[in-house]
Structure 1
Amino acid sequence: MSGGTHRAPEPARRRTAGAALGRDRLPSLTGLRFWAALVVVLYHLSRNVGEIPGLSDAVWYGRTGVTFFFVLSGFVLAWTYDGADVPGKVFMWRRFARIWPMMVASTVVSVAVMAVQNDAISGAAVATSLFLLHAWVPDPVYASAGNPAAWSLSDETFFYAVFPLLLAALAGRRARTWAWTAALCCAALFLVWPAAASVTSDTFLRVWTLDYVPLTRSLQFVVGVVAGLAVRRGWRPRVPLPAAVGLVAAWHVLLIPWSRAVPDSLWYSPYSASQLLSTPFFALLVVAAACADLESRRTGLGGPWMIRLGHWSFAWYLIHEIVIRIIEGLRGHPASLLGTVEVWALVLAVSLALSAAAYQWIERPAERTLRRLGPRPVPPRPQPQAARAG
């Protein structure tokens, strides 16, 4: 999985590749993972538990946090594996070890909670989700099978499968090619939005095409990949991190009047547009945060607690909807603003605490164990020493 032209000088490049493989080499990106997960959690609390005035308006389309994760995934993989010469089977096993144990554990708990609450469970849909294929099925039962949050891992699995090919195709290109690739992907995301509405009038089929299908969402992943390659090879944007954060915030503020004017059921609402059109803003945010770390500038995102919260974010993403279901099952749906605030606070505290425990006792130990059991890169053969002259 090595690249081609426009590299740093060889010795420096090898040192950078080795450093990039270290955990939290770009700590601000780890910190940003927490904030993206938080926005997703607040989105589900607003939609499923009840609204808190002002705050719920700001996170009404917090599902865009998934878009951030798709862009971030492409960036981090390109940054980590460009020039690293890791065999494809080793790469895929590492990714499997990273996401599958926590996904299975959360799905088992989710199905158990559904069974206790007498919710309908499709065995075929759950089985498909365990194989990370359910996002390909145009059926709402499959989209929410097992753990509803895990649909995005089906997309991620597809991204992992095509990443070695993407890296081989893009790594040896010029910077202009990367820029055009990112621009075309963003344009395609804009065009696919009305195109899906012209193909079908079925609301779920339209949402499935735009929000779930890995082929559609892979455009966001590719934007992350080319951004990662560009930064890896020395590109530094002129937009500082505070400005990038401001652009992301402004985009979400713009969604508030749009959502009030157009119901989510209509294709030109911000329901799908919020995820598709946020791609360039999140790409700029990821690049700005990464460059700040590379230039040793303080961001407020790379401290010990932010890194810790970022580590917990994957488990939090998979656990929080289960906690919402349990707490609402025990307490009922809140009937007042005070009750809504109480449920929000309880869900946030319990789900985050469980995520910390899951990271410590399930996610990381399982990943380490699977990595030890799986294939490993073959160390390079030692070069024979040249015979001394004379």
Structure 2
Amino acid sequence: MAELHSGSRPGRLPSLTGLRTAAALMVFGFHIYAVALFASPGVNRWMAHSLSQGGVGVTFFFLLSGFLLTWTARRDDTARAFWRRRAAKILPNHVVTWVAALAFLGWTGLSLTGSFTPIGLDSLPNLFLIQDWFPRAGVFFSMNIPSWSLGCEAVFYLCFPLLLRALRRVPARGLWPLAAALVAAVWLMPLLADTLFHGGPAVPGLPVSEDRMWFVYTLPPVRMLEFALGIVLALVVAAGRWPRIPLGLATVLSLAGYVASSYLPYLWGLNAGALVPLALLIPAAATADLDGRRSFWRSRTMCWLGNVSFAFYLVHQLVIRYVHFLFGATRSFGTAEALGLTLLCLSVSLLLATGLYYGVELPLMRLLGPTRRTPAAPARPEISVPVPTRAPAQEVSHVHHY
């Protein structure tokens, strides 16, 4: 058995890096659908079930964040060092894209949600990543809209040291019941939102009121249920209690859950619909890497795309809005033209994400995020993981999580 917290490097999980590419593309596809580039009713009907569930990608990111932070946690780490590394990971990219959003909104005069002025007090909570605590779409979806998820992640990171300490105390036999309870809680949140809130102004472009959307989708304590589930899943794998589920089957189930979510009532489709398949996919991919089994997701291309996916996630919405503005902010286009614009948005987003990753994200992580030191005498480990029988076919030098 290789000790996860003994000071030796834990088993690498490159398939999880590659899977982030698919999750980021889910969000990209949803935002293409949301701006109505395609004029064809038939294409839009198809997109309503194939590209409308971008929130599934965010659910994946929250689960993955809890899983990987637990997997890479070390006993000798301090909360302050952990918080510093996390800040070095997310804040530089966030500040750069916040300034870009401010410039874009100020220049065009557009309002991404239709309920706030581009340069005003509503934009300040976004800068400080506290926008998710305000039950107004003009605040929680202000500026660079995808950055709302960073507000949730900031709360997750703040709570992680204490949360992990508490969950490690759960006996191994209690991990599966706890995972089931967390899944049930996520499914109950839309019902609770319907009970607590009686509707109000709708989120522009979405079939849901601001207060219900805020409670189910952007409120950090609610989304922490998914983050905590990711932690529990990592503990299940580390305890050797994960059943051997084929990665291919878990991938197919996740795709089915993604599509099925579009047929659920809107609030249930946001987080809950694909939660169980995604909760199977992440540990299945992790154990495939640990066992050295074949995995499409750990190819060099997928891992490279996964490494730049955080930057891609933060720039793509601004690129889509800017391209749409240049060609007509309220226009829809024929299928061929819309496909061309989609490819243009994808290419420009990837190009800018690459520049942001290599020019901002990596250098500032190295500068601001101190390297953890291995203690001379390793501390007693708290959990352990099986040693892979052979090295994975492809590895990456690091795994990022957000």
Q: Do structure 1's residue 293 and structure 2's residue 298 form an aligned pair? A: no
106, 117, 122: which is aligned to 2:108?
117
TM-score normalised to structure 2 length: 0.84
Q: Which consecutive residues of structure 1, in runs of 5 or more, have no partner in the other structure?
A: 1-7, 260-268, 384-390
1:170 and 2:167 matched? yes
Whole-angstrom distance in 2 between the partners of 1:283 and 1:17:
28
Q: 1:115-264 residue pairs with structure 2 within 5 A?
A: 115-119=106-110, 120-202=117-199, 203-256=209-262, 258=263
Q: Which runs of 5+ in 2 are unaligned?
A: 111-116, 200-208, 380-402
SS of residue paired to 1:40: helix
AA aligned opposite 1:233: A
Q: 1:188 to 1:381 in 2, by over 3 A?
A: closer
Q: How big is each residue's C-alpha offset from its partner over 1:182-219, in whole Å with a ceiling of 9 and x where there is no partner?
A: 11111111112112112112211011000000011000
Letter paired with 1:356: T
Provide the C-alpha distance between the structure 2 equivalents of 1:130 and 1:338, rounded to a whole number of angstroms: 38
**Alpha-carbon distance in structure 2 between the residues aligned to 1:209 and 1:176:** 32
Paired with 1:338 and 1:68, the residues of 2 have a C-alpha distance of 31
Q: Give, as a single letter, the amino acid of the residue that structure 2 aligns with 1:236.
A: W
Return 217-226 or 115-124, whichever deviates more. 115-124
Query: Is residue 79 from structure 1 mapped to residue 71 from structure 2 by the alignment?
Result: yes
With over 3 angstroms needed to count, the CA separation of the structure-2 counterparts of 1:16 and 1:339, relative to structure 1, is: farther
User: Which residue number in structure 2 is paired with residue 313 of structure 1?
Assistant: 309
CA distance in 2, matches of 1:15, 1:75: 15
Q: Which moved more, 1:156-165 or 1:169-178?
A: 169-178
Aligned equivalents of 1:380, 1:207: Cα separation in 2: 50
CA distance 1:117–1:57, change in 2 (3 Å): same
* Aligned match of 2:354: 356
Structure with max Cα Rg: 1
Q: Displacement, 1:180?
A: 1.8
Query: Secondary structure at 1:19's aligned position in 2?
Result: coil
1:63 and 2:50 aligned: no
Aligned 8 A contact 2:257 2:273 in 1? no
- Is residue 322 from structure 1 mapped to residue 318 from structure 2 by the alignment? yes
CA shift, 1:307, in A, is 0.9
SS of equivalent to 2:285: helix
Count of residue pairs the alignment pairs up: 357
Q: What one-letter code is carried by the residue in structure 1 that aligns with 2:65?
A: S
Residues of 2 paired with 1:187 and 1:382: CA distance?
A: 38
Equivalent residue for 1:90, pick from 63, 66, 81 = 81
Q: Secondary structure at the residue paired with 2:353? A: helix
Identity of aligned residues (%): 35
SS, match of residue 352 in structure 1 = helix
Structure with higher RCO (Cα < 8 A, 6+ apart): 2
**Within 2, Cα distance between the matches of 1:292 and 1:365?**
31
Aligned to 2:142, what secondary structure does the other structure show? coil
Residue 282 in structure 1 maps to residue 278 in structure 2: yes
Q: Secondary structure at the match of 1:18?
A: coil
Check the 8 A contact 1:27/1:307 in 2, yes or no: yes
> How large is the Cα RMSD of the aligned pairs?
2.2
**Amino acid across the alignment from 2:136:** D
Please say which of residues 208-217 and 128-137 is displaced more in the overlay: 128-137
Q: Residue in 1 aligned with 2:363?
A: 365
Cα distance in 1 for residues equivalent to 2:86 and 2:78: 13
The aligned counterpart of 2:18 is 31
TM-score using structure 1 length: 0.86
1:56 and 1:199, CA in 2 relative to 1: closer, same or farther beyond 3 A? Answer: closer
- Say if 1:87 and 1:377, in contact at 8 Å, map to a contact too: no
The amino acid that maps onto 2:15 is S
Q: Which amino acid aligns with 1:108?
A: V
